[in-house]
Structure 1
């Protein structure tokens, strides 16, 4: 009579492997989500700069505020460039195009 199944050592080895896999994947996904959120805000800043350039070209407006996804982007046109100031994770940042 043969019994089929896993021994205690095989079961523990499988649990340890799964533990190591999950302990590396969870921080990686967390860091990826943070990087994606930062890149999203930077893309919105570029969009606000584009909108500011269009308003300057069409209406001669040299400053303004744009709200995108609840974030305030303040843009200014000076010295032939558009600079956008915004808050990114409690840090003030600036993008000049």
Structure 2
């Protein structure tokens, strides 16, 4: 810095550095957002399986559908496992929980 102030080159270099940093953070934030969204859908699928287990035990129902946040979760029970089918950002997903699994696993 001289007596006239900051030079144009220094200002331009600062702007370029800020743009490079911002440009590298945008893909990272998008990836984090999609990962968190898919994990949220997995959590909803697990909650659907828990509610399905309660229905199976109390009403002997073997299939059903649940809608959470405009997403459809279809579940079925085949005598051994509860499978929940849903769509995430990667495509169709099926999450199965065996009857004999412990909650500590």
TM-score (norm 2): 0.83
Instruction: Provide the rounded CA distance (Å) in 1 between the counterparts of 2:16 and 2:32.
Output: 25
State which drifts further: 82-91 or 64-73.
82-91
**Correspondence list, 1:1-97, <5 A:** 3-89=3-89, 91-97=91-97
List alignment gaps of at least 5 residues for structure 2.
98-105
Instruction: Provide the rounded CA distance (Å) in 2 between the counterparts of 1:64 and 1:56.
Output: 10
Distance verdict in 2 for CA 1:72–1:36, change over 3 Å: same
Q: Match of 1:31, SS? A: helix
Instruction: Provide the rounded CA distance (Å) in 2 between the counterparts of 1:35 and 1:9.
Output: 40
How many angstroms does 1:79 deviate by? 3.3
How many angstroms does 1:31 deviate by? 1.1
Instruction: Provide the rounded CA distance (Å) in 2 between the counterparts of 1:79 and 1:48.
Output: 17
How many angstroms does 1:89 deviate by? 3.0
Q: What is the root-mean-square deviation in Å for CA atoms of aligned residues? A: 1.5
- Relative to its length, the structure with more helix (as a share) is 1
Instruction: Provide the rounded CA distance (Å) in 2 between the counterparts of 1:92 and 1:27.
Output: 24
Kindly tell me the number of residue pairs found equivalent between the two proteins.
96
